[in-house]
Amino acid sequence: MKLSTYIDRQWMRCNPEKRARIHQACKGPNHPLFLEDKDVAVIWSAKSGCTFAVKWFLLQRGELEQALAYSNWIHDYRTQVYRKSPAYQAGVHRAEYGKFRYLRLVRNPFARAVSSYLHMIRTVGDHAFHAPFNEFLGRDIEGAQGASFADFCNFLLATDTARCDVHYRRQAHPMEVDGLIDIDHVIHLENLSAELAPVARRYGLKDYSVEELSASHHNTRRSQSDSFVGDAVFRRTDEDVYPDFRAFYNDELAAKVEHAYAEDFARYGYQVKP
């Protein structure tokens, strides 16, 4: 253990304010996932491989089969069973005392912003989710006029991305930003197959097929077109085929996403270009 980590943990034991802040942060929607027997916790974000993260975590715990029998939507088990379990509460308590090493799964903010936009337009009928975007636009995105990715970028600039809906909230977790925890290892979704296996070995975790766990009904198929589509209006279709995320950007839209997610670019080492 690093001397600095040891000192931090000793200080935390006699710092009830910091413990209380960690406890509160663990109540958020993108709460940590605790592997108590390995002293490892996973920090994840919506639209950043979250379905993979939860499946991988539950496999480590030996609960994936049980979770899939509970619901075909893995997050039902996470929120309705795991989050309410004694194991999770025990994990929160141990987190308060600095017992965990944290793994962080992140995604290129440029790709994630497009995914968040597509999620918005694909969730037909979810008026509560659409409400902030509709209010910003002054119209219903399911109406005739629709909404483009350029509209979504303007919405992001007008939004507090530290506190908004998790599907377009910045990835940087409050526990990271507030200095409550240190991240031991960052895993990039774009390089998941290459990065995850050595991390699993390093922390004594089981190694599983990335491809097998990556399937999600959130995934969209991509066309090969690279023509700029950032100002085009997309809607949900039966095929759900959309251009590669790079086609949604010009210099202006890239700059807007860079500004909206400046914390993520700086923290996770992504280049500020699509």
Distance CA 223, CA 234 (A): 14
Strands 183-188 and 40-43 turn out to be: unpaired
User: Among residues of the chain, what percentage have pLDDT more than 90?
Assistant: 81
Residue 191 DSSP code: G
Both structure tokens of 215: 């399937």
| The pLDDT of residue 99 is above 80 | yes
Output the CA angle 133-125-115, nearest 5 degrees. Answer: 55
| Other residues' Cβ atoms within 10 Å of the Cβ of residue 39 | 13
On the question of pLDDT at 5 being above 90, the answer is no
At 151-193, the pLDDT tens digits run 999 999 999 999 999 999 999 999 999 999 999 999 999 999 9
Strand partners, 106: 188
Residue 216 pLDDT: 56
- Cβ partners under 8 Å of residue 25, min gap 6: 173, 174, 175, 178, 180
Q: Is the pTM of this model over 0.85?
A: yes
Sign for the pseudo-dihedral over CA of 229, 232, 234, 240: negative
191 HSE (CA, 13 A, CB side): 9
Contacts of 96 by beta carbon, 8 Å cutoff, 6+ apart:
12, 19, 22, 23
Please give the DSSP secondary-structure letter assigned to residue 183. Answer: E
- Distance between CA atoms of 206 and 122, rounded to whole angstroms? 35
Backbone dihedral region for residue 47 (phi beyond 0: left; psi -120 to 50: alpha; all else: beta): left
Q: How far is CA 124 from the centre of its chain?
A: 22
pLDDT in tens, 232-273: 999 887 667 899 999 999 999 999 999 999 999 999 999 887
Between helix 16-25 and helix 3-13 the angle, nearest 10°, is: 100
* Two structure tokens written together for 244: 């590669």
- The CB-based long-range contact list for 125-130 (8 Å cut-off, 24+ gap) reads 129/165, 129/167
Name the residue type at position 156: L
